[in-house]
C-alpha cells in the first residue's frame, strides 16, 4: 500500500509550541513491543534515514521556522547526528567556536538519559517551560530547524511583527534555503498526499508562511491544508496606563491587519484553511478563553493552550492518517471546500466525558449541549445547513448500549438499533443537524495523555478520562475526544467580522507596513478581495 506522505511546515513561536505537543503525541505513541494495536500509519508523517554514524533514524517529515534566540537548548541540527547528504561537503581540521549551551531542565536531562521512562515522572512544566524546546521529546532531522537570524526572539524594539517583513525575507536567502529543503523532502516521497502548514498569522510569520504557500501552490500539484493560528494571550493584553493602552491598541491593529492579509492570501493559494484559537474573539484582544468541561487550563500559558490545539490537529488528521480509512487530504479538501468555500471551522470536545457507568446511547439522548467547542475565533458553528467531517476516538464499543436483557427504556430509542459507535454518532448528527451532511470517522484508541502533556484535568475523571462515580485519585492516562471540520453559510459572519474590523483602520496610520513596502492600493485590493471571498458563503445552500 502507498505511504501517502505528508510534509508538515511550522512557522512561528506559538505554532512551534503546538508542534512540540503534536510531535510528542506521535513519538510517545510508538510501540516498540509489537503488542499494541496501532491504528495510525506513522510513515505518513515520519521518514526513515541514516545518520553520519550509520545508525537508522526515524524523524518527523518537518520544516519549522523560528527567530534567533528561541531555541534555547535545542541545537539547530535538531539534536541528532547529521545524516549523510550527497550535497554536503565534508571539511576536515575545522575549529568550531560555539557559545555555551543553555542549561536543560530536569525533563530534558531525564529524556536524554532515560528516554520514554521520563514519561513516568512528575515535573513542574507550568513554572519551567519558557519556550517550546523546554518540553519537546523527539529529536529532529538536521534540516528541520530553520532560524531567522535577522530578528531576535522577544525583541520589543525590532520585532518581527509585520506581514510584509515576512514576505520580504521569503523572497531572499531564507526562502531559497527553505524551498530547497522542501524539494529534498518531496523527492524522498513515493506517493505524497500534500502539505500541512501551521503558522502564526498575527506577526511576520504570516507573510513568510504565505510566501511559502504561494510557492507550494505554484511548484506542486498537491493539496495544502493550512492552519492560521492566533495565540491565546499577548503580554500587552492587560494595560494599566494610557501609554500602555495606546501601545496595546497599536499592536492589536497590527495583528489584525496581518490576520486579514493572511486570510485573503489563503483564499487564493491554500486548498483548505482553518483558523484556530482557544479564545472566543481572536482579535482586538483574544477575548474570553473557550471553556472545556473538566479542564482547568491557564490561557496565559502557551504550554496549556497549545496542547488543546495540538490535540485538535492530531485528532482531525486521523482522517487521512488512519490505516483503515481510505480518506486522503484531497478527499478532505474536496468534501469541505465546495462553492469556493476554502475557509472552514474546527471544533474540539475534550474530554468526551461519559460517566464511567453510563452508556453512549443515554449520553447522546439526554445531552442538551453541543458535544464540541468551536476553536475558530469569532465563530459560532451552526447546527443546520452545514458540511462536517467528525472524528471520534476512544469510546469502547462496550459503552455503546446495554445488553438486550438490561436495555429496558433504551429499547424504545431508535438508536438502540445501532450496532457500532460510528452508526450511533451518524444517527445523532442526522437528528441534531438539519439539512446537513456529516461524515464520521471512529478510532478505537483514545488520546494518550503522557508526560509532558499538561495535567489540567478535573479530579472527577478516572484514568480513562470518564467521569468517576466517586472522586478519583488516579492520574488520568487517556481520554476520549471528538473533533470536527465544519463549513457552511455561518462562516460568512466570521469573515464579515474580520473585514468590518480591519476596514476601520486607516492605512495612513500603518506606518510600519508602509515602511515594509505595503502600498495603499494593494492594501485596499486585499480588503476588497476578502469581502468578495465572503460572498462564497452567502449563496443559497444546497446539498
Residue 383 lies in a domain: yes
> Residue 436 sits in a domain of what CATH number?
3.30.1330
The model's pTM: 0.95
So what's the pLDDT on residue 325? Answer: 72
Residue 481: CA count within 13 A, CB half-sphere? 25
Q: Are 454 and 431 in contact (CB under 8 A)?
A: no
Location of C-alpha cell 436495555: 407
Same-domain pairing of 254 and 332: yes
Residue 1 lies in a domain: no
Cell of 151: 530578528
8-state DSSP, 39: -
Q: Which helix (H) or strand (E) holds 427?
A: helix 421-432
> Residue 18 sits in a domain of what CATH number?
3.40.50.1440
- List 387's β-bridge partners, or say none: 437, 487
Q: Are 233 and 300 in contact (CB under 8 A)?
A: yes
Q: CA 402 to CA 412: how far, in whole Å?
A: 12
Same-domain pairing of 248 and 260: yes
Q: Which helix (H) or strand (E) holds 46?
A: strand 46-50
The CA-to-CA distance between both ends of the chain, in Å, stands at 33
Q: CA 444 to CA 534: how far, in whole Å?
A: 38
- Which of 10, 31, 317, 275 lies closest to 133, judged by CA? 10
Same-domain pairing of 307 and 208: yes
Same-domain pairing of 484 and 354: yes
Q: Which helix (H) or strand (E) holds 6?
A: strand 6-11
Q: Are 347 and 316 in contact (CB under 8 A)?
A: no
Q: Which helix (H) or strand (E) holds 20?
A: helix 13-27
Q: CA 381 to CA 386: how far, in whole Å?
A: 9
Same-domain pairing of 466 and 520: no
Q: CA 366 to CA 403: how far, in whole Å?
A: 19
Q: CA 404 to CA 407: how far, in whole Å?
A: 5
Last residue of a domain, one of 336, 360, 395: 336
Cβ partners under 8 Å of residue 505, min gap 6: 253, 256, 257
Same-domain pairing of 477 and 504: no
8-state DSSP, 490: T
Location of C-alpha cell 480509512: 325
Q: Are 283 and 379 in contact (CB under 8 A)?
A: no
Same-domain pairing of 48 and 122: yes
Cell of 92: 576536515
Q: Are 438 and 390 in contact (CB under 8 A)?
A: yes
- How many Cβ atoms from other residues are within 10 Å of residue 323's Cβ? 12
Same-domain pairing of 252 and 282: yes
Same-domain pairing of 282 and 312: yes
Last residue of a domain, one of 307, 336, 365: 336
Residue 454 lies in a domain: yes
Same-domain pairing of 351 and 332: no
Residue 98 lies in a domain: no
Cell of 236: 500587552
Q: CA 134 to CA 14: how far, in whole Å?
A: 13
Q: Are 341 and 491 in contact (CB under 8 A)?
A: yes
Structural domain including 246 reads 6-87+106-336
Q: Which helix (H) or strand (E) holds 11?
A: strand 6-11
Cell of 320: 487521512
Cell of 107: 525533563
Last residue of a domain, one of 336, 368, 391: 336
Same-domain pairing of 328 and 377: no
Cell of 94: 575545522
Cβ partners under 8 Å of residue 406, min gap 6: none
Residue 412 lies in a domain: yes
Location of C-alpha cell 530536569: 106
Residue 23 lies in a domain: yes
pLDDT in tens, the chain (543 residues): 578 999 999 999 999 999 999 999 999 998 877 777 789 999 999 999 887 777 888 999 999 999 999 999 999 988 876 655 555 444 445 455 555 668 899 999 999 887 767 767 889 999 999 999 999 999 999 999 999 999 999 887 788 999 999 999 999 899 999 999 999 999 999 999 999 999 999 999 999 999 999 999 999 999 999 999 999 999 998 899 999 999 999 999 999 999 999 999 999 999 999 999 999 999 988 999 999 999 999 999 999 999 999 999 999 999 999 988 778 999 999 999 999 999 999 999 999 989 999 999 999 999 999 999 999 999 999 999 999 999 999 999 999 999 999 999 999 999 999 999 999 999 999 999 999 999 999 999 999 999 999 999 999 999 999 999 887 678 899 999 999 999 999 999 999 999 999 999 999 989 999 999 999 999 999 999 999 999 999 865 444
Residue 99 lies in a domain: no
Same-domain pairing of 314 and 382: no
Residue 372 lies in a domain: yes
Q: Are 268 and 210 in contact (CB under 8 A)?
A: no
- The number of domains in the chain is 3
Amino acid at each position: 500500500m502507498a505511504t501517502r506522505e505528508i510534509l508538515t511546515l511550522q512557522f512561528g513561536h506559538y505554532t512551534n509550541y503546538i508542534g512540540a505537543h503534536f510531535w510528542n503525541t506521535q513519538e510517545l505513541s510508538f510501540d516498540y513491543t509489537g503488542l499494541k494495536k496501532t491504528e495510525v500509519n506513522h510513515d505518513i508523517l515520519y521518514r526513515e534515514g541514516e545518520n553520519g554514524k550509520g545508525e537508522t533514524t526515524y524523524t518527523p517529515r518537518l520544516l519549522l521556522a523560528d527567530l534567533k534566540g528561541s531555541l534555547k537548548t535545542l541545537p539547530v541540527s535538531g539534536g541528532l547526528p547529521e545524516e549523510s547528504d550527497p550535497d554536503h561537503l565534508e571539511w576536515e581540521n575545522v575549529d568550531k567556536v560555539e557559545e555555551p549551551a543553555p542549561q536543560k531542565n530536569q525533563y530534558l536531562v531525564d529524556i536524554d538519559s532515560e528516554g520514554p521512562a521520563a514519561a513516568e515522572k512528575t515535573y513542574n512544566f507550568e513554572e519551567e517551560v519558557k519556550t517550546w524546546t523546554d518540553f519537546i521529546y523527539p529529536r529532529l532531522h538536521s534540516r528541520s530547524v530553520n532560524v531567522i537570524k535577522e530578528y531576535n526572539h522577544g525583541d520589543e524594539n525590532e520585532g518581527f511583527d509585520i506581514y510584509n517583513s515576512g514576505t520580504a525575507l521569503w523572497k531572499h536567502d531564507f526562502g531559497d534555503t527553505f524551498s530547497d529543503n522542501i524539494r529534498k523532502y518531496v523527492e524522498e516521497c513515493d506517493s505524497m498526499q500534500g502539505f500541512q502548514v501551521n503558522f502564526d498569522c498575527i506577526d511576520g510569520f504570516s507573510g513568510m508562511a504565505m510566501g511559502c504557500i504561494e510557492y507550494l501552490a505554484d511548484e506542486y500539484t498537491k493539496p495544502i491544508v493550512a492552519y492560521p493560528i492566533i495565540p491565546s494571550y499577548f503580554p500587552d493584553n492587560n494595560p494599566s496606563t494610557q501609554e500602555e493602552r495606546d501601545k496595546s491598541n497599536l499592536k492589536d491593529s497590527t495583528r489584525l491587519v496581518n490576520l486579514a492579509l493572511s486570510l485573503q492570501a489563503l483564499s487564493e493559494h491554500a486548498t483548505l484553511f482553518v483558523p484556530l484559537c482557544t479564545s472566543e474573539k481572536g482579535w482586538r484582544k483574544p477575548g474570553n478563553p473557550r471553556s472545556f468541561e473538566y479542564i482547568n487550563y491557564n490561557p496565559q500559558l502557551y504550554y496549556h493552550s497549545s496542547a488543546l490545539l495540538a490535540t485538535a490537529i492530531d485528532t482531525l488528521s486521523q482522517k487521512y492518517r488512519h490505516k483503515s480509512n481510505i480518506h486522503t487530504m484531497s478527499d478532505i479538501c474536496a468534501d469541505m471546500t465546495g462553492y469556493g468555500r476554502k475557509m472552514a471551522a474546527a471544533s474540539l470536545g475534550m474530554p468526551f466525558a461519559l460517566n464511567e457507568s453510563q452508556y453512549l446511547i443515554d449520553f447522546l439522548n439526554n445531552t442538551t449541549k453541543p458535544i464540541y467547542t468551536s476553536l475558530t475565533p469569532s465563530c459560532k458553528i451552526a447546527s443546520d445547513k452545514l458540511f462536517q467531517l467528525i472524528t471520534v476516538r476512544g469510546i469502547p464499543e462496550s459503552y455503546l448500549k446495554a445488553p438486550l436483557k438490561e436495555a429496558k427504556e433504551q429499547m424504545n430509542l431508535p438508536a438502540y438499533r445501532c450496532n457500532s459507535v460510528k452508526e450511533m454518532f451518524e444517527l445523532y448528527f442526522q437528528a441534531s443537524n438539519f439539512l446537513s451532511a456529516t461524515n464520521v470517522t471512529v478510532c478505537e484508541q483514545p488520546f494518550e495523555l503522557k508526560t509532558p502533556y499538561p495535567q489540567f484535568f478535573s479530579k472527577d475523571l478516572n484514568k480513562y478520562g470518564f467521569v468517576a462515580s466517586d472522586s478519583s485519585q488516579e492520574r488520568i492516562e487517556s481520554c476520549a475526544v471528538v473533533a470536527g471540520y465544519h463549513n457552511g453559510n455561518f462562516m460568512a459572519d466570521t469573515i464579515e467580522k474580520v473585514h468590518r474590523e480591519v476596514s476601520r483602520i486607516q492605512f495612513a496610520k500603518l506606518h510600519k507596513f508602509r515602511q515594509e513596502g505595503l502600498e495603499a492600493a494593494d492594501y485596499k485590493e486585499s480588503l476588497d478581495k476578502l469581502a468578495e471571498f465572503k460572498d462564497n458563503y452567502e449563496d443559497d445552500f444546497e446539498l
